[in-house]
Amino acid sequence: MNEKVSVIIPFYNSKEYLRASIIQLQKQSYSNIELLLLDDGSTDGGEAEIEDLIDNKIVFYYCLPHQGVSAARNKGIEEASVVS
């Protein structure tokens, strides 16, 4: 059985870590993954840093205005296709 896993990454002004996080996830041997990136109103241009990494398993959301990591994470949980 190859169940789908949702990975939720809320972030705010952390473009220096975002690219490495995505690359590490894409290197995983388990392939049935969806990645939800939740930009919590960043102002550092993080999306431009990762445009070349976006594929059909990655969903990008803007959470405006900046409301904090908990609000962004909750949005990711709402949007995840895997719900238990």
**Rounded to an integer, what is the distance from CA 9 to the centroid of its chain?**
4
Per-residue pLDDT at 54: 86
pLDDT for the residue numbered 27? 92
Residue 20's pLDDT is 93
Each domain of the chain, given as residue ranges in start order, spans 5-79
Is the separation of the CB atoms in 10 and 32 below 8 Å? no
Q: Which residues pair with 38 in a beta bridge?
A: 10, 61
Alpha helix (H) ranges present in the chain?
Answer: 15-26, 46-50, 69-79
Residues 13 and 67: beta-carbon distance below 8 Å: no
Q: Quote the pLDDT of residue 35.
A: 94
Q: Residue 11: its pLDDT value, please?
A: 93
Query: What's the fold here for domain 5-79?
Result: Spore Coat Polysaccharide Biosynthesis Protein SpsA; Chain A (3.90.550)
pTM of the model: 0.85
Give the chain's residues under pLDDT 50. none
Residue 6 β-bridge partners: 34
